[in-house]
Structure 1
Amino acid sequence: MSTGQIPARQSARLSRLNAELSLKILTLLAVLYTLYFARSLLLPIIVAALIALFASPAVRFLVRLKCPKPLSSLLILTVIIFGVGYGVSLLYTPAATWLERLPLLSSKLALQVDGVAESLDSLKASMLPESSTSAAAKEEENPLNSALGTSFLPLLSMLAQTTAIMLVQLATVIILTYLFLLFGGTLLRNIVRAASTLHEKKNLVKMYQTIEQDISRYVLVITVINTMLGVATFIVLSIIGVADPLLWGVLATILNFAPYLGPFVLTLLLTAVGFIEFQSPGQVLLVPAAFLVLNVIESQLVTPMALGKRFNMNPLLVVIWMFIWGWLWGAVGVLIAIPLLVCLKIIASHFELLPYWQILLSAESSADNNN
């Protein structure tokens, strides 16, 4: 073999690798583009599928008790709807009260920077004559009123349109969830029947059973842990003397389904609450600090012990993953990001797919394993 053929082969191999990498990048961009622009179609389907996946063991339990499957699916779905609705009704009044108290936060912040504002006003008065200042104020008065008047109707129309879209999507999720609960098993059997070989049939059944069992266990454990965190937050904030501790306990439970991001958001909210409720800096900081202590205990001790290493994932990639799904599908995307990630990790681990994906998701390094 001549020496001139070796660089040629290396160049051809490099070109092939570059082409494969470019194809993978284009495929990823196409998938992200599809997920983003088809979110109104895909989001209700995925949310309904996840809810049905979590609720299907309860439906099977009722079926084993000789309850017809259509009635069992309807009962479980009714319990979920009424549970969520009852929780929202309990939290509506305190949430509205705190929204009304937001101007108090701005007024207290204004008092804190009152000296800076006065210095800025004096600087403005020294630089602009009084007549020009009053004339400018008069000129701005009418445009402001007209702007408010002209922007009110479009804002109201946009709000009505957004509410209608949310109601339609909510109804779609409810209907699809019921259909998944009722006909999901039939769909799975038809997919298995369509497989060409016995090995493929076994793999499909095993994949579905593994995902259902592991995801149901994961969601059950996380729900119990988050509920305990919410109860602990409620008790601690009640002892401190924060108003409406039930609201913050429920928010702690819900937001903790989005690891790292959810607790960070609640910490900011509780900082604002402490600023509104108390006067001294120590009391103000005590409110978010109490929640942070509870969250550290939950995230560093309770959750790893309850779930073990199987569901342990790299925190950096978890946050990046939630940011991506938050950009794609908003707040709902952030909440469903972790169950989707767990599904992908389970599929990859059980069927030996994408080994580099499993290595990236692992929270432990090779050095930690060697030690």
Structure 2
Amino acid sequence: MEPLPARQPVRVRRLNTELALKILTLLAVLYTFYFARSLLLPIILAALIALFTSPAVRFLVGLKCPKPLASLVVLTMLIIGIGYAVSLLYNPAATWLERLPLLSNKLALQVDGMAESLESLKSSMLPDSAKAPATAEDEEHPLESAIGTSFLPLLSMLAQTTAIVLVQLATVVILTYLFLLFGGTLLRNIVRAASTLHEKKNLVKMYQTIEHDISRYVLVITAINTLLGVATFLVLSMIGVADPLLWGVLATILNFAPYLGPFVLTLLLTAVGFVEFQSPGQALLVPAVFLVLNVIESQLVTPMALGKRFNMNPLLVVIWMFIWGWIWGAVGVLIAIPLLVCLKIIASHFEILSYWIILLSADSETHHSK
């Protein structure tokens, strides 16, 4: 019984060393992704796009279309679709950008109006001796000039980064085409390099599973988000909000970032409501109808369409999006969920990182029952 106290500290030190190594490895990986984002982001984004569109390429190849032509057709249709959507939204978006100073002024006036109403209510409840005369500083609106002037540096920054963005977009397009054309050859070479037949089967199974499940996930989520965008467009049109198509498309795009995207759009629609309507009740109706649609989508439609297999813990989903947003910006937020789904599929199908699956699960009772 005497050796036990001597062995236990050694075991504790070993566990602490392993934990410290894991934390250092995780930090090294995160900083590598952060500092090499200009190199890694186009590659990973192109690989994900190729993964999503590869079923369409295989469909065209099955129709006796040559693979280079099929890959070019699919990629061209994708670019045309995105370009057409951007052309439709360019004028409304530019109009709202021009209205930003007006938006700041009107919001300031709305805030001042509500503040004056509260002040008058407060004054009516106070005795005359407690009332203080209004000063000139109370009539100033520093928020107006602050928002208006802060918009100019933003435009300057966007102009400076336009060339870099165009180069990265061209890189993504070229890499996507190469992934569609030679991705299968690369996979076959990887399988051929495996040492045993069991490893070769696992590699093929892993690729087919990820491709099938990710393609299904993206198709279902895209359909659901498109329906949410259409519903948002129709409801805002009925209310009388200007440029409902712009807000419908934004609802579709931002909903690819669960929780965070709808929150951002809710703030935007709140500001739009106060610009479009004079009554606070009508103004708050604009974000309220979107919140109702988003709750129906997130709590009823999406769980029924995807099932528990893709159901994940909301807290970890938001943290994951914040991490990838810090690493790769807005694009990182949008591709964070497909990356998370890829990791969950790999972990669940090949029985690795079981603690990762348990952490991601939104229902702890499922694992307790097992």
TM-score, scaled to structure 2: 0.88
In the alignment, what sits opposite 1:237?
A: 236
Q: 2:72 aligns with which of 71, 74, 99?
A: 74
What does the per-residue CA deviation read over 1:63-84, in whole Å, with 9 as the maximum and x for residues that have no partner? 1111000000000000001110
Query: Where does residue 194 of structure 1 map in the other structure?
Result: 193
The AA in structure 1 aligned to 2:33 is: L
Q: Counterpart in 2 of 1:272? A: 271
Task: Please list, as runs of the form range in 1=range in 2, the aligned pairs for 1:1-371 lying within 5 A after superposition.
Answer: 3=2, 5-114=3-112, 119=134, 121-122=136-137, 159-366=158-365
Q: 1:349 to 1:111 in 2, by over 3 A?
A: same
- Distance, in Å, in 1 between the alignment partners of 2:109 and 2:305 is 47
Distance in 2 of aligned mates of 1:104 and 1:158: 22
Cα distance in 2 between the residues matched to 1:227 and 1:34: 35
| 1: CA distance, partners of 2:248 / 2:110 | 29
Aligned residues: 343
Q: Return the alpha-carbon distance in structure 2 between the equivalents of residues 184 and 217 of structure 1.
A: 19
> Per-residue CA shift, 1:76-104, capped at 9, x if unaligned?
00000111011001000001111122222
Q: 1:131 corresponds to which residue?
A: none
Structure 2 unaligned segments of length 5 or more: list them.
117-132, 141-148
**Any conservation in 1 of the 2:266–2:291 contact (CA below 8 Å)?**
yes
Tell me by how many angstroms 1:368 deviates. 9.0
For residues 252-294 of structure 1, what are the alpha-carbon distances to aligned partners after superposition, in whole Å with 9 as ceiling and x for unaligned? 0000000000000000000011000001111001000000000
Distance 2:7 2:135 in 1: 71
In structure 2, distance between residues paired with 1:287 and 1:243: 11
State the distance in 1 between where 2:107 and 2:273 align: 13
Going from structure 1 to structure 2, the CA distance change for 1:120 and 1:363 (only over 3 Å counts) comes to farther
**Residue deviations 1:287-328, cap 9 Å, x none?**
000000000000000000000000000000000000000000
Q: 1:123 to 1:47 in 2, by over 3 A?
A: closer
Q: Identity rate of aligned residues, in percent?
A: 84
Alignment gaps of 5+ in structure 1: 126-147
Give the distance between the partners of 1:233 and 1:112, measured in 2 at CA: 25
Measure the CA separation in 2 of the matches of 1:66 and 1:240.
50
User: Residues 244 and 124 from structure 1, CA distance in 2 versus in 1: closer, same or farther, beyond 3 angstroms?
Assistant: closer
- 2: distance between equivalents of 1:365 and 1:249? 35
- 1:323 and 1:193, CA in 2 relative to 1: closer, same or farther beyond 3 A? same
Q: C-alpha offsets along residues 48-75 of structure 1, whole Å, 9 cap, x if unaligned? A: 0000000000001111111000000000
What is the CA–CA distance in structure 2 between the aligned matches of 1:8 and 1:267, rounded to whole Å?
Answer: 60
In the alignment, residue 70 of structure 1 is paired with which amino acid? P
Counterpart residue identity of residue 280, structure 1:
S
Using structure 1 for the length normalisation, give the TM-score. Answer: 0.88
Q: Take 1:279 and 1:227, find their aligned partners in 2: how far apart are those partners?
A: 31
Displacement of 1:112 in angstroms is 3.5
1:6 shift after superposition: 1.1
Query: What displacement does 1:220 show?
Result: 0.2
Higher deviation after alignment, 51-60 or 93-102: 93-102
CA drift at 1:160 = 4.4
Give, as a single letter, the amino acid of the residue that structure 2 aligns with 1:360: L
AA paired with 1:310? Answer: R
Q: Quick one: which amino acid aligns to residue 237 of structure 2?
A: S
Give the C-alpha shift of residue 45 in structure 1. 0.2
What is the distance in 2 between the residues matched to 1:96 and 1:157? 16
Q: CA deviation at 1:27?
A: 0.2
Distance 2:154 2:222 in 1: 38
1:7 deviates by: 1.1
